[in-house]
Amino acid sequence: MKTHTILMPLDMHLHLRDGVMLENVAPLTAFTYSGAIVMPNLVPPVDTLDAVKAYKERIMAAVPNDFFEPYMTLFYKNYDKEFLEHVADEITAVKLYPAGITTNSEGGVESFNIEEMRPTLQAMSDLGIPLCVHGETDGFVMDREAEFMSIYELLAKNFPDLKIIMEHITTKAAVDMLDKYPNLYATITVHHLLLTLDDVVGGMMMPHLFCKPIAKRPEDLDALLGLALEAHPKVMFGSDSAPHPQHKKESCGCAAGVFTAPISLQLLTEIFEQFGKLDNLQAFVSDNAQNIYGICPEFKEVTLEKRPFLVPENYAGVVPMYAGEVIGWAIESVD
């Protein structure tokens, strides 16, 4: 059988939730990944030093036997420099959500008034704290990310020393923006390397493929693939794996989020092999993130084998992407 090995894989955008859900899903990521950037949009949001420390403790309690580092983030508010200095050693980044644009983001930014945000963003620049951004407006759903490009430009121009991560990009507009400013970076999910909107709603609605930002057009998918497959040095893998209970997905008012944590490495390996780019997978799923964030993850060696793998129907009540379907690669060993 053909095999492929990845060293210290990193997931640079992950939702672990809390409580029983955290206990169920965190081990699935910790098994194969050396670390992950953990999103702070809980209820209430992670916006104090005590909340950061307590959440990290709960994560580590959920994965006691794995070599795994949760890189903690703070929910963006207009913090002062004194507070950011106090919390800097406990966080890897600050995550900014436009208010109400996605799950548990009601306390996010209402207006991108640069002067109101300047003290916080300048302090982050001075302290070397990256800003991770969910880049969508509240406009027409297919245009929300493209419309946000002007805000990325505003941030990049006003804070040239601030490292800005365009999270889970989905459009050619974001791909084109990446190299316009040296302080812009991006994460890309595995599902946005596989899906267009047609896969989600072109026939019957597929609730377990529905996420925000929504999958876009074929030309957007092609642009994302081009970026990821070449392992552009300013781009890294972030799954945006977002677990919801099955009844929240298969219901009126379907929750947004695709759960890929247990199969993301397998799917990425399949994609990169399909396009003859397996040699670039290591950079996309680990090396670029280490360089961008300046992190040294726990050593982990993951070997995948090219053989059929039947994706389980659910993991503790959470339905994964491609549930009940066969994919082409499987985890052989983790050392």
| Catalytic positions | 240
Residue 120 phi/psi, 5-degree rounding, is -70, -50
Bridge partner residues of 96 (DSSP): 133
304: helix, strand or coil: strand
Peptide bond into 44 cis (omega under 30): yes
> How many other C-beta atoms lie within 10 A of the C-beta of residue 143?
14
* Torsion angle (degrees, nearest 10) of CA 87, 93, 98, 100: -70
Residue 271, token pair as written in the block: 């994609």
- The answer to whether 160 and 237 are in contact (CB under 8 A) is no
| Angle of the 144-158 helix axis to the 114-127 helix axis, nearest 10 | 60
Rounded distance between C-alpha atoms, residue 232 and residue 186, angstroms? 10
Residue 326, token pair as written in the block: 């066969």
